[in-house]
Amino acid sequence: MQNNKLLAGIVTGIVAGALLGGLNPEAGLAVNFIGHLFITFLMMIVMPLIIAAMISGICRFGDVRKLGPLGLKTLIYYLTTTALSVTTGIALVLMIHPGQLASETEQIEARGGIVLKDASYSIENNTIIIDGASLPGEYTSSYSVLLLDRNVKGGILSHHGKNGGETIEVSSWTQDEKNLENLAVTGKGIVIDKLPAERFLQEERTITDILREVLTGLIPSNLFKAMAENDILPVITFSLLLGAVLSTLGVQGKPVIDFFNGLNEAIMKIVHLAMYAAPVGIGALIAGRLGEAGGFTGFLPELLRLGKYAFTVIAGLLIHSMVILPLILKFFGKTGIMRFAYNTSPALLTAFSTASSSATLPLTVECAEEKNNVSPRTAGFVLPLGATINMDGTALYEAVAVIFIAQINGITLGPPELVIIFLTATLAAIGAAGIPEAGLVTMVLVLKAVNLPIEGISLILAIDWFLDRCRTTVNVWGDSVGAKIIDRYVKLANHR
Ligand code: ASP
């Protein structure tokens, strides 16, 4: 399909999907299954695509010794661009300071607490009975309660009831104010706040632990189990090995290589078919996700509430993808940005709608090979690897999110902690699978490395699905730029 027609189709799909899901969440949810069909179709071809593309790509190099320099260049590209993006993220979040909010009430609410200045209360036997106000959340032992008019604080034991008549049982008061425990008192004004962040958790994770986890994840104990679980990294290891060995076998290896070449061609034809479904699939995915978020009226207030944080993440992603990567592409890939971006846009829009680098991989390969002239051998090697370990967007987001969580909790991070965040965010991005919200899970590593509370994740949960799409788009963009640059060096080396 022509790129402009495809693109027009996808953009129409996105606009229609956003309007449908945004204005009518129920209708969005109703078409969700069409989007899932699209993702499932893509996921169905990912595993065979990786195996066939990698093996056939590697064998096209002819000499397995050429893989060393290619691997090294690829690694250098991945690490440098990821490091640049984390640095951009850290610089921005320190500059913008999204965790510092205007008022104390805002700060408390951002932490998940609530300020009820006018609520009256009465106390009986350590139980606060709230009159005339209902609490929006569940408040358990990780919260404290403050009686505003008396300036007495207590730890919460439990919270019962809903919609009026709510009670809060206090575990202990920090001050024996007029023997509150025995007296029945009444008053006005209640604040419920998250307890100060527990900075020193029992279980500490060092960078070596994290490295060890990434390394052990490279080798499958059972290849088919890894394939069945869509665990890409071990499958890449196996394909690399098999491709390298096949290329040394001579006549004996030839029929097997031919088989994988043929399989690769066939899979790419299936990817072509998937392109036809892209506009509808992408539109349905957007409609479905907006529907799940309660339409525009459900999503926009959340986005505004966390606006400064979302702005920081998005600004970082834009700087990295629209300034830093294009400069690298121009300088090292000798390629102009406009046409390249235009040619890659079907993959980028698919990344935005699926929030999965792995599911997008078939389209990333197609755009690179068919439209951006990247040779199949480079694309076959660089792109599957990139979809799993090269995640510039995720690394940037992890750094921003972790520092934001620290800021909201009133914790200042010193230079050594920022260095740890830099290293662990890079590792956490490498370790994140190319699936939706994987970055949110691996962020636990970063939080633990600097002893921040993992519950902090709940602060950013509400809009993570949206930021996930933005960062996945940048992940795929970084992979595509990398494939083009590395391909140039491969071609230069061959001409020598
Ligand atoms: N969804 C992202 C990806 O597939 C990973 C993440 O959650 O950051 O690239």
Query: Has residue 370 got a pLDDT over 50?
Result: yes
Q: Who contacts 196 (Cβ-Cβ below 8 Å, separation ≥6)?
A: 409, 410
331-to-55, 78, 343, 488 alpha-carbon distances in Å: 30, 16, 19, 11
Q: Apex CA 349: angle with CA 345 and CA 353, to 5°?
A: 170
Structure-token pair, residue 12: 């129409």
Q: Are 380 and 57 in contact (CB under 8 A)?
A: yes
Q: Where are the alpha helices (DSSP H) in 432-463?
A: 438-449, 457-460
Q: Does 434 sit in the ligand 1 pocket, CB within 6 Å?
A: yes
Q: Apex CA 396: angle with CA 435 and CA 297, to 5°?
A: 70
Q: Tell me: domain 107-196, CATH 2.30.30, correct?
A: no
Query: Has residue 209 got a pLDDT over 70?
Result: no
Q: Does 377 sit in the ligand 1 pocket, CB within 6 Å?
A: no
Summarize the confidence of residues 470-475 as an average pLDDT: 97
The whole-number pLDDT of residue 201 equals 39
Summarize the confidence of residues 345-352 as an average pLDDT: 94
**Of the candidate ranges 168-172, 249-253, 385-389, the one whose mean pLDDT is the lowest:** 168-172
Summarize the confidence of residues 351-377 as an average pLDDT: 94
The residue among 2 and 383 whose pLDDT is bigger is: 383
The whole-number pLDDT of residue 163 equals 58
Cα 424 to averaged position of ligand 1 atoms, centre (Å):
16
If we measure between CA atoms, which residue out of 39, 25, 14, 36 comes closest to residue 286?
14
This prediction's pTM: 0.79
Q: Does 92 sit in the ligand 1 pocket, CB within 6 Å?
A: no
If we measure between CA atoms, which residue out of 312, 469, 303, 472 comes closest to residue 403?
312
Summarize the confidence of residues 263-269 as an average pLDDT: 90
Place of tokens 């090697």: 381
CB neighbourhood size of 413 (10 A): 17
Place of tokens 């919609």: 163
Q: Give the Cα separation of 452 and 418 in Å (integer).
A: 13
**CA terminus-to-terminus distance, the chain:** 36
Pairing type for strands 127-131 and 143-147 reads: unpaired
Q: Are 353 and 35 in contact (CB under 8 A)?
A: yes
- State the amino acid at position 347 in one-letter form: A
Are 2-101+204-495 and 107-196 in the same CATH fold? no
The whole-number pLDDT of residue 179 equals 52
Q: Does 475 sit in the ligand 1 pocket, CB within 6 Å?
A: yes
The whole-number pLDDT of residue 202 equals 39
Determine the 3-state secondary structure of 133 from DSSP: coil
348-to-60, 343, 356, 361, 473 alpha-carbon distances in Å: 28, 10, 11, 10, 5
Q: What rounded mean pLDDT belongs to the chain?
A: 86
The whole-number pLDDT of residue 206 equals 61
Query: Has residue 107 got a pLDDT over 80?
Result: no
Atom of ligand 1 nearest to the CA of 436: 1
Summarize the confidence of residues 228-240 as an average pLDDT: 86
Summarize the confidence of residues 10-19 as an average pLDDT: 91
The full set of domain ranges for the chain reads 2-101+204-495, 107-196
**Of the candidate ranges 55-59, 345-349, 362-366, the one whose mean pLDDT is the lowest:** 55-59
Cα 173 to averaged position of ligand 1 atoms, centre (Å):
44
Structure-token pair, residue 340: 């390249």
Strands (E), 161-293: 167-173, 185-194
Q: Tell me: domain 2-101+204-495, CATH 1.10.3860.10, correct?
A: yes
Q: Sign of the C-alpha dihedral, residues 282, 359, 468, 392?
A: negative
DSSP one-letter string for 142-168: TEEEEETTTTEEEEEEEEE-SSSS-EE
Kindly report the protein residue whose alpha carbon is nearest to atom 2 of ligand 1.
Answer: 472
Summarize the confidence of residues 159-186 as an average pLDDT: 70
Place of tokens 């965790």: 99
Q: Are 441 and 363 in contact (CB under 8 A)?
A: no
